[in-house]
Structure 1
Amino acid sequence: MLTDHNVQSVSPELLERFHAPGSFLLLPGVEVSDRVDGRPVHLNGLGVDRDMAPQGGRDVPDAIDRNRAAIEEAGGVAVLNHPNGLLRAALGSDEIAASGIGLFEVCCADYLGGSGHPSTDQIWDAVLTGGGHVFGVAADDAHDFGADSRDPGFSWIMVRAAELTGPAILNAIRAGDFYATTGVALSSVRPLANGLCLDIDDYEVYGFRTEFIGPEGRVLLSDETREPCFRRPAPPDYVRARVQRSDGAVAWVQPVLFGDGR
């Protein structure tokens, strides 16, 4: 999937060159690029096949919500981009929670935080701990395609869809049936009634550490096997997993919510 600022990204020429039904699917998209009180508010519209103008808003949560609604009306899936990619204009977890957005970038070109700003992992846990429900997406946010650029293909999502079609992939993303990664491969993600289990499918030369994370960002269990699994008779409000490979690559697994109808 390709996106660009406020314009639909996939031309007929690109489709003719790369689209191969049954083996390679190129989906359109647009990065709706808004600004509120001097702060950038960008949302990707996955699957949107037309140009889109930013909708504005009275504040950041309102702008996120208005642009989300416009993307969904156009048949797309809305993702809040780089919440701390520009630290001088980072978005707060309270603003993200208030917007009601269902997906945000847990990994893009910048995600670790610093200088008094939280990482995207910390933002994610703050939203989830407060009762929000948001899935974490990864994208490369590539703007430089020179020979020495690290951006293209820096991070992506692995989607479990019934078939290689646009509707099937977009529906799986809406449902959170995917994981985000910078290179770690998982062969199985199994949400349970009382936990979460994974199977890591990756090169034998690497080591792995999986952290199962719960409310307030607490690490509930650290597992260094290739079949990490978290189970509790009385699980916390949520658990998600972060898999770190010994070369620095990471995978983020979507939260499983427990209790109170969550």
Structure 2
Amino acid sequence: MNTKFSNPVLMKEIKLRFRSPKSFVGILFYLAAMSLFVFGFLYLMTTLDAPGTGGGFLNTEESFILFTILTYIQLALVLFITPGLTAGSISSEREKQTLNMLLTTTQTSYQIILGKLLSSIAFLALMIVSSLPIYSLVFLFGGISPAQLALMLFYFLLTTLAIGSVGVMFSTLIRKTAVAMIATYGTMLALTAVTGFLSVFTASLGFAGSSAGPSPMAHFWASINPAVVVASLLSPGSGNILSDMTGIEFPVWIIYLIFYTSLIILSVFIAVKKLRVNMKAGN
């Protein structure tokens, strides 16, 4: 049973990644930057005698603002670091001419792809989990429930897996790491900036029509936008605003879950199927 479910590729990649001092130096600087921001925010909010605060403490609204800012910082981390960690997973092996040797082992294509993906995701997951003590500071001032924090962690994991799967897929399909990285970052931008633009554009077309009605496409584009979904999870009232704009009351998180789960499955499937096909074409 242990042999059946073991993944030597995953274990090797994790050991190589986590034994490198650069990995922990990167986490150290990331946590240091977040700590400076949080303590700076707390210092400013507790020393400025703003109206309604009384000074010396944070109220629940300011605590929620801090949590929201930290959440979007984590989202930026996921969106911009994940492509760099995964887009070279297979193409770098090809460029170093070590992929042929890897394919001659008893490891299946699924084990190779999954090992490369999960080892990259594990490092980013460690960065997110290591920031939990900083996140926990908001519980001192209220306004945030543990359920919201757990929901955000699940959201980050799903988004990381989706973008990481796309990165591994492009790394398998494209021979050059630089081109694969550009394609992955392009997909990430399409899922954020382009979907946001299309949502506003299609909603405006509905308002400009002679009879404004439901706009399913505007609702769909907004539902797969990571920033919009974060806003809906942090503040359920923002989902009502979106429903008023599009005329659709279907929860955005359900569409997000279905779309990104499908994206993960499709990307991994393509990567597994194309891994050995590309090698047969020659190096």
TM-score by length of 2: 0.27
Which has more helix, going by share of residues? 2
Which has more strand, going by share of residues? 1
Between Structure 1 and Structure 2, whose CA radius of gyration is higher?
2
Higher RCO structure, 1 or 2 (CA under 8 Å, sep 6+): 2
